[in-house]
Amino acid sequence: MTFPATRLRRLRAHPTLRRMVRETQLSPADFIYPLFVTHGRDVHEEIPSMPGVFHLSIDQLTAEANELAELEIPAVVLFGLPATKDAMGSENFATNGIVQQAIRTLKDAQPDLMVMTDVCMCEYTDHGHCGIVRDGQVLNDATLDVLQKVVVSHAAAGADVVAPSGMMDGMVGAIRAALDGDNFSNVSILSYAVKYASSFYGPFRDAAQSPPQFGDRHSYQMDPANVREALREAELDVAEGADMLMVKPALAYLDVVRRVRDTFNLPLAAYNVSGEYSMVKAAAARGWIDEQKVVLESLMGIKRAGADLILTYHAKDAARWLHLANG
Ligand code: PBG
């Protein structure tokens, strides 16, 4: 049957009917909110390239956790700014490191908030690379030993999920072994399995003060041209014991989200990264786009492409808008 018997506009005629036949639902329960935690007191400092995103000191986190609970956002992912950086990123696995303190504070305030931690070395190392560096090379296997210490310290502080983002080979297996060896078999791994060497991370490197001091990340993060390789990355992480997978960034890689969704049965997250956020904020500030509509449309697109979970700096605003729309 074709026109005039078939008219697709019929199902678009009434808002209630449109809602009834909507194929994808977006909800605050889909969101994971990134937090940047820093030493000091009363720090609530806006990151210049990411309006609406703040560096927070530990004393700010109880209020933050309560606000997230109010908005029904179920999870955070933590990034830490250490007091000092060194060659191996020692504060990354210190019992009283900034992230370890943040985990304890957030879990005390809201035990049902899922606290996830970004597990990487770049914020903690003086050279800004995601691994141990020797003779200008980022060493793979030596880095795994450090990541093992990091995840055990995060788990001991009470993290629910660890999210390794350094793109080292074997990182998921090494982390699983370390957690299980220390009686943390209940701590989940959300692997940044498919992470591209992307220019969309620009504003984050301000936020986390983590740009590489020499060279770039192309020897460990993926070439944006590749999707078969993305499936190999995901396949290995599944074999090594990942509980959930991630594709990052999100918007320029929705085809990758779809391929990973169709190939694997693990829960899938997509990271709507800093550059994606800042471009929307900049255009909205000039009145060139409608921020609310563009954000909700983008997040819906990521969901429709196959992501179950979305890491996004828009989480709190989007949750507010969704609550208002749904009464
Ligand atoms: C680093 C890490 C990065 C991001 C998350 N974890 C930066 C990088 O790999 O250079 C980027 C997040 C964003 O841009 O929002 N381990």
Cβ atoms within 10 Å, residue 1? 5
Nearest to 277 by CA among 320, 317, 221: 317
- Ligand 1 atom with minimal separation from the 221 CA: 9
Residue 248 bears catalytic tag: yes
Residue 230 forms part of a structural domain? yes
Residue 206: its pLDDT value, please?
84
The per-residue pLDDT of the chain, averaged, comes to 97
Q: Which residues line ligand 1 (CB under 6 A)?
A: 118, 120, 122, 130, 165, 201, 204-205, 217, 273-274
Express as a percent the part of the chain with pLDDT over 90: 97
Residue 262 has pLDDT above 90, yes or no: yes
Residue 16 forms part of a structural domain? no
| CATH value at residue 301 | 3.20.20.70
Residue 279 forms part of a structural domain? yes
- Contact, 164 vs 171, CB < 8 A? yes
- Token duo for residue 113: 């908030």
Residue 4 forms part of a structural domain? no
Residue 13 forms part of a structural domain? no
pLDDT digits (tens, 9 = 90+) for 2-56: 999 999 999 999 999 999 999 999 999 999 999 999 999 999 999 999 999 999 9
Number of domains in the chain: 1
DSSP per residue over 182-211, as a string?
TT-TT-EEEEEEEEB--GGGHHHHHHTT--
Radius of gyration of the chain (CA): 20
Residue 152 forms part of a structural domain? yes
- Test site for ligand 1: of 129, 165, 194, 206, most ligand atoms within 8 A of the Cβ: 165
Q: Is 265 helix (H, G, I), strand (E, B) or coil?
A: coil
Nearest to 250 by CA among 228, 284, 217, 279: 279
Taking residues 118-131, report their average pLDDT: 95
Classify residue 309 as exposed, middle or buried by CB count within 10 Å of its CB (0-12, 13-18, 19+): buried
Residue 9 forms part of a structural domain? no
d(CA 63, CA 285): 27
Residue 168 has pLDDT above 90, yes or no: yes
Q: How far is the CA of 205 from the centre of ligand 1 (A)?
A: 7
Residue 327 has pLDDT above 90, yes or no: no
DSSP letter (8 states) at residue 76:
E
Taking residues 93-115, report their average pLDDT: 98
Residue 189 has pLDDT above 90, yes or no: yes
Tell me which residue range forms the domain holding 284.
25-325
Express as a percent the part of the chain with pLDDT over 70: 100
Residue 326: its pLDDT value, please?
82
Q: How far is the CA of 284 from the centre of ligand 1 (A)?
A: 23
- Contact, 292 vs 283, CB < 8 A? no
Residue ID of nearest Cα to ligand 1 atom 10: 201
Residue 253 forms part of a structural domain? yes
Q: How far is the CA of 281 from the centre of ligand 1 (A)?
A: 19
Q: Is 275 helix (H, G, I), strand (E, B) or coil?
A: helix
Residue 195 bears catalytic tag: yes
Pure H helices in the chain: 15-20, 61-70, 98-109, 141-157, 171-181, 202-207, 228-240, 254-263, 274-285, 291-304, 315-325
Taking residues 94-104, report their average pLDDT: 97
